[in-house]
Amino acid sequence: MAKSGGLTTRGPRNLLRQIREALAGGTGGAAVASAQQRLDLVVGIIARSMVAEVCSIYLRRASGELELFATEGLNPEAVHNTRLRPGEGLVGEVARLAQPVSLSNAPEHPSFSYRPETGEDPFNAFLGAPLLRGGRAIGVLVVQNRAARVYDEDELEDIQNIAMVLSETVASGGLLAEAELRDVELAPHRPERLSGQKFAEGLAVGRAVLHEAPVPPDKLLADDPVIEEQRLRKGLADLKSGIDLLLEGGQGKLNGTPYEVLETYRMFADDRGWNRSLEEAVRSGLTAEAAVDRVRNEHRARFASARDPYIRERLHDFEDLANRLLRVLMGDDPHDRQLPDDAILVARNLGPADLLEYPRSKLKGLLLEEGSPAGHAAIVARALQIPCVGRLSGLRDRLSEGDPLIVDGETGEAYLRPRPDMLTAVQSRMGVREQRRAEFDQLRDTPAITMDGTRITLLTNAGLAVDLENLDMTGAEGIGLFRTEFQFMVADELPRLTAQTALYKLVLDAAGERQVTFRTLDIGGDKILPYLEPDREENPALGRRAIRLGLDRPALLRMQLRALLAAAAGRELRVMFPMIAAVEEFRRARDLVDREIEWARRRGRNLPRTIRVGAMIECPSLLWHLDALLPLTDFVSIGTNDLMQYMFAADRTNPRVADRYDPMSPPALRALREIRQRCSDHDTPVSICGELAGKPLEAFALIALGFNRLSAPASGVGPVKRMILSADLKAARRGIEPLLASSASSVRGELETLARKLNLAV
């Protein structure tokens, strides 16, 4: 059917088919040899079909400039001679926004830029669409008319579909040869180094495996939209039933894909807006795969720059779901992922369920364009000891499948297509790490006792079911910190009492006689639960989070305490409250424990054999109120991650300030010593459960300060134990004392010198 002022009676499917034939080398039996001739043919087809007097294609150069590559209606001599600076003109505005721009009177727009060599001054109506590749504009497609007309929704839909076909064809190399591309910025091939954040330590060398399934150009256009709509519906049904099967098989199991994660994906698979967008894209003439890819790109371009953490997390959920749907449509069995033996997985962000589905034996490293050290993918990577670097801006668009890569989880860097000398250097470092790992394995069952006879208790941190395997693998003596919030963060509704009880019981069963300390919910701030109405706070790290939220919503905290008491029946229960900033907060929290104990006792419930209640020291305010707090506690644990960020007023998730201050500074060390001394005065057991406990040099400073109980990430247990076995604690204490009086902003260098002097294995 004809469209008013838009496509001719040939319709959108015929237009897309004509473009496909032109890009393939000709139409109507006439062969076209060069890429320029094909582009010229394409802009002519689009102009005639959309009744436009101008149609132009711009491509992005490596400099960021947008170059006019082909036009119908503008001055032909402007082709390859007109270049727009980043953000210049309406074309630059389309690329900047990564969204279509439609104007009836373009010269009046503040972004309009007149380029006399193009001869475009008579044209008023403007419709531009970005050529999106991975949510990033690699070019712009424009149509223009003299009349000041308004382009309708159908025309907007058409130009987006055409732009998608062009972007996929250009980026795949199916249109322009390497010589013709010159410096068009699509997929660089030179060696590059990208700096990001280290999410999980380690080194890996391998080849890029792109997590998101690409859509081949020959599968973009539908031969029969009705069939494609049926394929989409079947794909959605198969996706949902596949997740349902995993849910049925995953509940109650200790290992494998976390049950709560899968529930989240199931919820988003039913999202009406997402399903409707997919159906509309298919009905416009795209294949089911192309529809998913287009909707994913649009979501990414619209929300990728959102500052709100909740919106960003929802984008990640839809990204992961779209990837799963693409694999279903392409007949990929998620349980039979084929990887090369040296796979480096590359993704914008990654759902933990997807990461767990890849064969661990072949997955050597992980690179993420987004994410955070506290994100689910990073937590799973650390649990599986997979080197991981995140926050690598522009990563996906700089890579092709199979590119050689280096993941440097020690420095937070990624090397793309590295030079031979860099490969040699990293492989040498990996050899050293492998030797050290063998040493750590031999020390697994050796008690952590210093050379002068002081016993140090080494525990590990956990939060996932897979973390529990590390107890036996590392030789840790227990779990010093079990983060309970993960179960809540990945569920689409509040986990029921029975589900919470089952998880805590599984953790205790896995630990056996080894000690487990559960931290109650540390949510709020940037950890937003989808089923709790979020508070929009200016500074969420200092807002209503952790124990503050628990005390504001006592029913939520009491349900968790009830589950913990039930799970630990007949055993020892250790529970601690996070982010205590005032003694009264701990009194109120402990009162809730007492009330739950009384509730269970009145009903004849089997209670834990021993119940110990502790506080996490993360707020500097407690440093001057320990004498009031400690008599109320059975133990305390120092969360150095938050304590240091609050001491230095530096957000540890913000890369601009996170590394600006050093925890190995005199004020930080003196604060830690003060806590240890006050705990000793009150005979209160104290442990360290932050990241510092898993780094040999930092752990050396901690034991020199008198701490004899450390809870480290699994990857840090071996290196720290090796350090402890080589330590002369009396000499270490003598050596660190003068450093505490230093006026320097950091004594890390002095600690390293002391460690060398004492022949410490750091």
Q: Does 619 qualify as catalytic in the annotation?
A: no
Identify the active-site residue in 55, 376, 388, 679: 376
Distances (CA, A) of 343 to 251, 361, 393, 402, 418: 30, 10, 21, 9, 16
DSSP string across 725-754: HT--HHHHHHHHTGGGG--SS--HHHHHHH
Distance, CA of 10 to CA of 168 (rounded, Å): 23
Q: Does 689 qualify as catalytic in the annotation?
A: yes
Burial of residue 750 (CB within 10 Å: 0-12, 13-18, 19+) is: middle
Distance, CA of 704 to CA of 673 (rounded, Å): 10
Distance, CA of 193 to CA of 200 (rounded, Å): 18
Distance, CA of 613 to CA of 332 (rounded, Å): 49
At residue 450, what are phi and psi to the nearest 5 degrees?
Answer: -70, 165
Q: Calculate the CA 606 to chain-centre distance.
A: 41
DSSP string across 568-613: TBTSEEEEEES---SHHHHHHHHHHHHHHHHHHHHTTPPPBSEEEE
Distance, CA of 14 to CA of 28 (rounded, Å): 13
Distances (CA, A) of 313 to 278, 282, 306, 528: 20, 26, 10, 9
Distance, CA of 184 to CA of 172 (rounded, Å): 13
DSSP string across 266-306: HHHHT-HHHHHHHHHHHHTTB-HHHHHHHHHHHHHHHHTT-
**Secondary structure of residue 459 in the 3-state scheme:** strand
Q: Calculate the CA 596 to chain-centre distance.
A: 37
E strand segments, 177-318:
192-195, 197-200, 203-210
Q: Which amino acid belongs to residue 366?
A: L
Tokens of 676: 């240890």
Identify the active-site residue in 55, 388, 679, 689: 689
Distance, CA of 172 to CA of 219 (rounded, Å): 13
Distances (CA, A) of 207 to 215, 354, 559: 20, 19, 47
Strand-strand pairing, 515-519 and 478-483: parallel
Return the active site residues.
376, 689
